[in-house]
Amino acid sequence: MTVGLDLGDKHTHVCILDTETGEVMEEGRLRTTPEAFESRFEGSERLTIALEVGTHSPWVSRLLEGSGHEVVVANPRKTRLIYSGSRKTDRIDAEKLARLLRSDPELLYPVSHRGEESQAHPALIHSREALVRSRTRLVNHVRGTVKSFGSRLPSCSSASFHKKAPGHIPPELREALDEVIEAIASLTKKIESHDKRIEALCGEDYPESGRLRQVPGVGPITALAFVLTLEDPSRFKKSRSVGAYLGLAPATEQSGDRDPQRRITKEGGEMLRRLLVGSANYILGPFGGDSDLRRHGEKIASRGGKSAKKRASVAVARKLSVVLHRLWATGEEYEPLRNTHRSKEEARREEVRKEEALA
């Protein structure tokens, strides 16, 4: 039997096909709870089950695999047949998943979910990110409110805002903003606590992240997110594949002689992609030292044109992902100017060969 599951927040629609004939053998729905899934699939004959990536797909896939079934998790970005039809219902979606799985599992572009522990650790990074966003909104609110009264707050980091801002707030606004400042102070304290936990997690459970932090601009958060997203460096035969996996490679739309330049695909982990771009901006910024990565970005930026700096940041982020994977996979020491030195050495050898040939 081949099964398609359309996971909903409260209910899941089920479609079971006969794999040989394609006939619909059963349709129905069940509650999206572990108890309901165990009651329906525990102890049944081995099934091949398709479901799409979503909020519930990690625990559902683990539960079904633990019950002895084969599970294929479909990439929804690749299955336009399901969500672009003129007739779209949960029942129809479940049947389409089952029929695609019966035809060829590769049509679903299967993805692999992390283990339960590996899923919990990224939640720590996401929680920190949510706290930072909340603090940023409150800081902007305070600055905007003060500005509307003809005053300005001094420039400072978000971490020190709750210490420096109170002395510059107009008296008539203190009643309205004092509690907001207290909330910012509380968020800053929580963010610092998350930073310490992430640092400890890197040292205790993911020591390989230390290799990645050799690169200036790559801190514990970026290094840990990289390790958690890729999980195993051996998944990639070539380091160059990592950039495409993270959505940092340009999309292609080649047809005949037409091959237009496209934007990056933005597939894969959005958080890690943003963190890598942030590291790239540091490398290209005033505090970034001389390196192959910096020279690569400066070369692209020097071409000018619209959004040259933005393209340079993305290109450096893509190249950085390749460097980080190689450091992780090989255990090598990071050499900022490795390619530059190698090019000079190759040029020197070529000169020696020419001189020997003339002699």
Q: How confident is the model at residue 159 (pLDDT cuts 50, 70, 90)?
A: very high
The answer to whether residues 9 and 87 belong to one domain is: yes
Same domain, yes or no, for 223 and 306? Answer: yes
> Does residue 196 share a domain with residue 213?
no
Shared-domain flag, residues 28 and 94: yes
Most confident of 65-74, 98-107, 305-314: 65-74
245 and 200: one domain?
Answer: no
Quick one: 222 and 278 in the same domain?
yes
Percent of the chain surpassing pLDDT 70:
92
pLDDT tens-digit map of 39-61: 999 988 999 999 988 889 999 99
pLDDT on residue 333: 93
Give the chain's domain count.
Answer: 3
Q: What is the pLDDT of residue 127?
A: 95
pLDDT at 130: 96
Shared domain check, 325 and 222: yes
CATH code assigned at 19: 3.30.420.40
Last residue of a domain, one of 149, 177, 204: 204
Let me know whether 11 and 38 are in one domain.
Answer: yes
Query: Domain boundary residue among 185, 204, 223?
Result: 204
Among 154, 171, 204, residue at a domain's last position: 204
- pLDDT tens column, 172-223: 999 999 999 999 999 999 999 999 999 999 999 999 999 999 999 999 999 9
- Is there a domain that residue 351 lies in? no
346 is a domain residue? no
3 state SS for the chain: CEEEEEECCCEEEEEEECCCCCCEEEEEEEECCHHHHHHHHCCCCCCEEEEECCCCHHHHHHHHHHCCCEEEEECCCCCHHHHCCCCCCHHHHHHHHHHHHHHCHHHHCCECCCCHHHHHHHHHHHHHHHHHHHHHHHHHHHHHHHHCCCCCCCCCCHHHHHHHCHHHCCHHHHHHHHHHHHHHHHHHHHHHHHHHHHHHHHHHCCCCHHHHCCCCCCCHHHHHHHHHHHCCHHHCCCCCHHHHHCCCCECCCCECCECCCCCECCCCCHHHHHHHHHHHHHHHCCCCCCCHHHHHHHHHHCCCCCCHHHHHHHHHHHHHHHHHHHHHHHCCCCCCCHHHHHHHHHHHHHHHHHHHHHC
Average pLDDT over residues 65-85: 80
Same domain, 318 and 222: yes
Asked if residue 329 is part of any domain, the answer here is yes
Average pLDDT over residues 226-233: 90
Q: In which domain, by residue range, is 142 found?
A: 117-204
Query: Is the residue at 242 inside a domain?
Result: yes
